[in-house]
Amino acid sequence: MKIVIDTDPGQDDAVAILLALASPEIEVLGLTAVAGNVPLELTARNARIVCELANRRDIPVFAGASRPLLRPLVTAEHVHGRTGLDGPDLPDPTMALQDAHAVDFLIDTLRREPAGTVTLVPIGPLTNIALALRLAPDIAPRIARIVLMGGAYFEVGNITPTAEFNIYVDPEAAAAVFGAGVPLTVLPLDATHKALVTRPRAEAFAALGTPVGRAVAQMTSFSERFDLAKYGSDGAPLHDPCTVAWLLAPELFSGREVNVAVETASPLTLGMTVADWWGVTDRAPNALFIGDLDADGFFSLLTERLGRLPA
Ligand code: RIB
Ligand code: CA
């Protein structure tokens, strides 16, 4: 399957990208960077660092939106560090950024590839995806599926009491994506908070004995500081790779086709994803909202695939 990953690396984004690059079932057509965890200049830099870590300088990387559609940018250096990829000591990228804007790449790719053959995997704020849909509404029916990390319902929020970070940063963009009528799979905190990098799982990354294994162990141990202090759990959630894992092994996940609406007005609940899990409204289902996963199966798949990347 052909995918484009829209990303704001971020250590967990990096692991998602590595999983995709390690999996022969997936052809990564390109990475589109968006401002989120850290500003755009850094997310575009980090995306290239990850490609070079995987020895995949052939992957085109594009810079996209430097801020949300309407609101000022909110970043998350408190989780990901100043660079957004703190933890491992990785060299600056030598591969160039593509000249085209990420949104133009998204539009051109979806118009060029046969309809229904490209899946979009957004794992940051949805600004680039919303801009592409607004600039070129004709691409909507050509998208096979959008598989995104974002939102929360039973698990509540992580950046505010009610909102998950990716949705909160650009709620208007999220509302546009959820309302676009494109087949949608949502990996919310309800699922990703069950994908915890426990000590044995982190040790399994390091035990790969490869630069990728070592880097992933260092990335996940860096970004866990914030989550352990906050949640007191026995490991930090590994959010973004759940999207790629769902593409590879959907049987590891369970969810429900429900209506999901995004709060864009209330200062109290801005960015909340309101999932009608019990079908109490007449709002039509618009997303497969994932509520659970087989965490051991997820980490086994992830670790095995990371082990395939070059030593
Ligand atoms: O809330 C988790 C999401 O926000 C992840 O995508 C993480 O990388 C950050 O972007
Ligand atoms: Ca992300």
153: how many CB neighbours lie within 10 A of its CB? 22
Give the Cα separation of 57 and 218 in Å (integer).
22
For position 271, what pLDDT does the model report?
A: 98
The answer to whether 192 and 153 are in contact (CB under 8 A) is no
The interaxial angle of helices 102-112 and 127-135, nearest 10 deg, is 60
| CA 275 distance to own-chain centroid | 19
Measured from the Cα of 189, ligand 1's closest atom is 1
Specify the CATH number for 2-306; select among 3.10.28.10, 1.10.286.10, 3.90.245.10, 3.30.530.20.
3.90.245.10
Helix H or strand E segment including 54: none
**Pocket-testing residue among 74, 194, 239, ligand 1, by greatest number of atoms within 8 A of Cβ:** 239
| Annotation says 239 is catalytic | yes
Whether pTM exceeds 0.85: yes
Sign of CA pseudo-dihedral 170, 157, 262, 103: positive
231: how many CB neighbours lie within 10 A of its CB? 14
Sign of CA pseudo-dihedral 208, 248, 21, 33: negative
Which residues of the chain have a pLDDT value below 70? Answer: none
Q: Among residues 78, 80, 101, 239, which one is catalytic?
A: 239
Q: How many CA atoms lie within 13 A of 128 on its CB side?
A: 33
Give the Cα separation of 162 and 228 in Å (integer).
20
Ligand 1 near 253 CB (within 6 A): no
Amino acid at 10: G
Distance 71 CA to ligand 2 centre (A): 18
Residue 156 backbone zone (phi > 0: left; psi -120 to 50: alpha; other: beta): left
Distance 8 CA to ligand 2 centre (A): 5
| CA 171 distance to own-chain centroid | 16
102: how many CB neighbours lie within 10 A of its CB? 29
For position 120, what pLDDT does the model report?
A: 99
Measured from the Cα of 76, ligand 1's closest atom is 9
Of all ligands present, the nearest one to the C-alpha of 33 is: 2
Ligand 1 near 157 CB (within 6 A): no
Residues 6+ apart with CB under 8 A from 53: 14, 18, 90, 211, 212, 215
**Pocket-testing residue among 46, 123, 170, ligand 1, by greatest number of atoms within 8 A of Cβ:** 123
List, in sequence order, every beta strand (DSSP E) within the chain.
Answer: 2-7, 27-33, 61-63, 118-122, 143-149, 184-187, 196-197, 236-237, 253-258, 260-262, 273-275, 287-293
CB neighbour class for 200 (10 Å; exposed up to 12, middle 13-18, buried from 19): exposed
Distance 10 CA to ligand 1 centre (A): 7
Ligand 1 near 168 CB (within 6 A): no
For position 227, what pLDDT does the model report?
A: 78
Distance 187 CA to ligand 2 centre (A): 12
Q: Where do the domains of the chain lie?
A: 2-306
